[in-house]
């Protein structure tokens, strides 16, 4: 476990090696001798939209709004609901067919 006197473990931006800052201010990399900028993470980050590509063409908005008229003649169309009524003829199933369960010795 690192000791408190070693400070915080940092990363040298040039060499990519890790080192302890030894609680010094400013933090200097022992590998390159350069001052390491410390980002506190308190800076606000905002999302910026990408610029549109030059090859992308803007979408033209419709000049007129198209209104579809309702056809009142379609209200009398048969939707085929009688298909379900045709299946009612075979509803008679005997209790013997329902209770037919395989026994333990039947595989």
How do residues 37-77 score in pLDDT, each as one tens digit?
A: 887 666 566 677 777 766 666 666 656 777 777 666 555 66
Query: Among positive and negative, which fits the CA dihedral 72, 74, 77, 80?
Result: negative
Residue 44 forms part of a structural domain: no
Residue 14 forms part of a structural domain: yes
Residue 83 forms part of a structural domain: no
Give CA–CA dist 37/78, Å, rounded. Answer: 76
Give CA–CA dist 20/22, Å, rounded. Answer: 6
Residue 28 forms part of a structural domain: yes
Q: What is the pTM of this model?
A: 0.37
Q: Could you report the per-residue pLDDT of 72-99, keeping only the tens digit for each?
A: 655 566 666 665 555 555 667 777 777 7
Residue 70 forms part of a structural domain: no
Structural domain that includes position 14: 1-38
Residue 106 forms part of a structural domain: no
Residue 89 forms part of a structural domain: no
Token pair listed for 15 = 């060499």
Number of domains the chain contains:
1
């Amino acid at each position: 476990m690192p000791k408190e006197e070693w400070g915080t473990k940092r990363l040298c931006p040039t060499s990519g090696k890790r080192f302890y800052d030894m609680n010094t201010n400013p933090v200097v990399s022992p590998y390159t001798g350069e001052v390491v900028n410390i980002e506190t993470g308190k800076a606000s980050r905002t999302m910026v939209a990408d610029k549109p590509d030059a090859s992308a063409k803007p979408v033209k908005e419709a000049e007129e709004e198209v209104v579809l008229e309702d056809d009142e003649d379609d209200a009398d169309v048969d939707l085929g609901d009688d298909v379900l009524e045709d299946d009612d003829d075979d509803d008679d199933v005997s209790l013997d067919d329902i209770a037919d369960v395989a026994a333990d010795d039947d595989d």
